[in-house]
Amino acid sequence: MKIILLGPPGAGKGTQAKLISDEYSIPHISTGDIFRKNISEKTPLGIEAKGYMDNGQLVPDDVTIRIVEDRLSMDDCKIGFLLDGFPRTTKQAEALDSFLNSNGQKIDTALLIDVPREFILERMTGRRVCPTCGASYHIKFNPSKNEGKCDACGSSLIQRKDDTEETVKERLDVYDNQTQPLIQYFDNQNKLSRVDGTGDIKEVFQDISNVLGAV
Ligand code: ADP
Ligand code: AMP
């Protein structure tokens, strides 16, 4: 299965991606996670990406496309993959199409997790993440068992720097201007599927399983 997850920041893509990747045994490829790992390791890519991310802007297309093509070229992606947070621009979507075409592959579906704007701010400002293993929680909707500590590895949870109210608003504008047009892009290719992302995590996953079962 080759899946793209679409949706605004805070829609629940990362949360559902983890569940889908476990269920279908396919790698979860999050460009945001790749950038954050590079930032914590202070690589040249991380140093370049940090300025854009902290301000809620997109990392330039050429850099982002290159890291995704490198990742998709790895052996574990032969059986399928789940892209979370990529593509985010029409240029990225076109580059992905031509990369897959040249390898005789195609996307099975671009799955939109539909969440209206009024839900987003609370989801993002309440998000807490584990800096060690990347697990993600929400102070109200998906709390860890021990407050402030990761269930999986026990590390202290942190708030992402780009999850402050001001940066979230910027990221939503970037989404509206640059990423939202991809909904039409994949619809034109008859690749778009949608789920309502306003239910709880289990309900959304059930809907996603139903949609993927029919693809
Ligand atoms: P994205 O990857 O799309 O930015 P996340 O998966 O990180 O979004 O989810 C954003 C925040 O909302 C997280 O704190 C997560 O725990 C929480 N969340 C995810 N799905 C739901 C849901 N269905 N209902 C309520 N909160 C959710
Ligand atoms: P995410 O973890 O998906 O919320 O992404 C966090 C940040 O990483 C975004 O706000 C961007 O700055 C950057 N980023 C992630 N994916 C992309 C992408 N496909 N194109 C450009 N920038 C990206």
Selecting from 3.90.1150.10, 1.20.58.1910, 3.40.50.300, 3.40.710.10, what CATH number does the domain 2-121+172-214 have?
3.40.50.300
The verdict on whether 13 is a catalytic residue reads: yes
Task: Please state whether the predicted TM-score (pTM) of the whole model is above 0.95.
Answer: yes
Q: pLDDT tens, 4-54?
A: 999 999 999 999 999 999 999 999 999 999 999 999 999 999 999 999 999
Please state, in angstroms and rounded to a whole number, the distance separating the CA atoms of residues 44 and 25. 31
28's tokens: 């979860």
| 206 annotated as belonging to a binding site for a ligand | no
161-198 pLDDT per residue, tens: 999 999 999 999 999 999 999 999 999 999 999 999 99
Give me the residue spans of the domains in the chain: 2-121+172-214
Answer yes or no: is 71 a known binding residue. Answer: no
Buried b (16+ CB within 10 A) or exposed e, 26-52: bbbbbbbbbbbebbeeeeebbeebbeb
Over 90: is that where the pLDDT of 120 sits?
A: yes
Retrieve residue 182's tokens: 């991809």
Of the residues 18, 88, 123, 128, only one is catalytic, namely 88
Q: Is 171 a catalytic residue?
A: yes
C-beta of residue 21 within 8 angstroms of C-beta of residue 27: yes
Across the range 202-208, mean pLDDT stands at 98
